[in-house]
Chain A
């Protein structure tokens, strides 16, 4: 496995600033999700906010992708290209946004239900709450001396206990000067725990909880980017970029 780049305290401080700005951008984007709003509008808002924050969008660094965000609705999981589809009340919208600030990438995602006249169905609320909880438990495992497998199994057990499935073909990842760095951080334990990489101080990881209500099989849509569930059931993503410090994890994509 290629070595995992570690960041110095100065670099971590830069990433923390970038992460804080990205978290503020994400909060504004989530607030902008209302019935009738389109993905393209969210994308335009994101580009404006990113420029104002003094950075550049991360996602155009991926070959062939020309947008600053990934917008996924209902059965869309990840990599959704922003479209002119208008959000309906009750839709599950996932926004994934990345910021390149001072040479370092930070990446975060969140899923939200579009508010309408009636409160959304309870099973959808529960679906999102479990995802948030899984991410929180996963982040708690990012301690020097633990292994990536601890993070993966935390995600897997929290999701399975609620009856949901982690998507197997998509993973979290290291992050830093490149948007995707080693190691991959799957949402499930793929092999023996002892064979997963050791977590060290100075690592910056984008931990993603990517899961579906139904079966974990996914297909790529005809647009060549959007990945959606094969059985058409809803899927959500929660992601934060964290740094591993001596005494434990620090969530970089949070504010204050």
Chain B
């Protein structure tokens, strides 16, 4: 499991793509392709364009992320 190096950022979902991938725009305007984390899928949490979400980024590829939380 990736213990170090991952960055958490907040962003807004811009677009919903197939296979629960979403395009998210971060606070500094970067667009990231994200997929829904397994825990959110398991708990059947729905994400829609316009939601504010918490995204996990890996230092190995900054254009891909994982949506881990939906903020109210």
Contacts and interface: CB of A to CB of B under 8 A. Distances in A.
Contacts of B63: 168-169
Contacts of B50: 1-2
B10 to A, nearest CB: 9
Contact of B29 (A2, A168, A173, A218): A173
A190 B62 contact: no
A170 B62 contact: no
A170 B30 contact: yes
B30 A169 contact: yes
A1 B14 contact: yes
A252 B49 CA distance: 29
A121 interface: no
Interface in A172-194: 173, 180, 182-184, 186, 190-191
Contacts of A183: 14
A157 interface: no
* Size bin of chain A's contact surface: 20 to 34
**Quick one: which of A2, A65, A79, A170 has the most chain B CB within 10 A?**
A2
Given A1-B49, A1-B50, A190-B15, A219 B62 contact: yes
B62 A62 contact: no
B31 A169 contact: yes
Given A1-B50, A190-B23, A220-B62, A171 B31 contact: yes
Point out which of A169, A170, A190, A191 has the most chain B C-beta atoms below 10 A from its C-beta: A169
Nearest to B30: A169
A63 interface: yes
B26 to A, nearest CB: 9
A170 B63 CA distance: 10
A78 B23 CA distance: 20
B32 interface: yes
Contacts of A191: 15
Contacts of A171: 25, 29, 31
Instruction: Sort A-B residue pairs by CB-CB distance and give the 8 closest, nearest first.
Output: A2-B50, A169-B31, A169-B30, A1-B49, A184-B25, A169-B63, A184-B14, A220-B62
16 contacts: A1-B14, A1-B15, A1-B49, A2-B12, A62-B28, A65-B28, A79-B28, A168-B63, A169-B32, A170-B29, A170-B31, A171-B25, A180-B29, A183-B14, A186-B31, A219-B62
